[in-house]
Amino acid sequence: MMAGSLIMSACSDSETRALDLPVEELIVTRGRFGVIQPHYARIHEEADSSSRVVDLVRRGGVVELIEAAPFETLERGSVDYWYSVAYSIVLPNGSPQSREGWIFGQDLVLFTTRARAQNASAQLGDGVYGHE
């Protein structure tokens, strides 16, 4: 983890000490995947429920996790992380488009591989699946 420095100085000009402060970093989660749980999940521009909603993703949609916010937050009565995710949508002309945004962790079930996430997504119609 990287650390920042803050120079502390006492009343005396001759005594100066460096104070190492931790720098908040995002938790890298690339290579993990999530399956959307609610009927529609909001994808936000930033890791904040008051930020602009850029997309809605349907239940069963598979997203790739890029990183997690460095802290948990309370949203809709649940404490969880916000995740930066990559996902694809299909445009009206039928072509796919890759996008990125932020989603609250309560809306996801997490998996270690795309195949497991896709399998869980396929089973959502049956209402039976587990998560890792």
Concatenating the DSSP letter of every residue in 75-132 gives ETTEEE-EEEEEEEEE-TTS-EEEEEEEEEGGGEEEESSHHHHHHHHHHGGGT-----
Contact 9, 51 (CB under 8 A): no
**Tell me: the pLDDT tens digits for 12-66?**
555 666 655 554 444 555 569 999 999 999 999 999 999 999 999 999 999 999 9
Q: What structural domains and CATH numbers belong to the chain?
A: 27-126 (2.30.30.40)
User: Residue 50 — φ and ψ, nearest 5°?
Assistant: -90, -5
pTM (global) more than 0.75: no
**Tell me: the pLDDT tens digits for 91-120?**
899 898 999 999 999 999 999 999 999 999
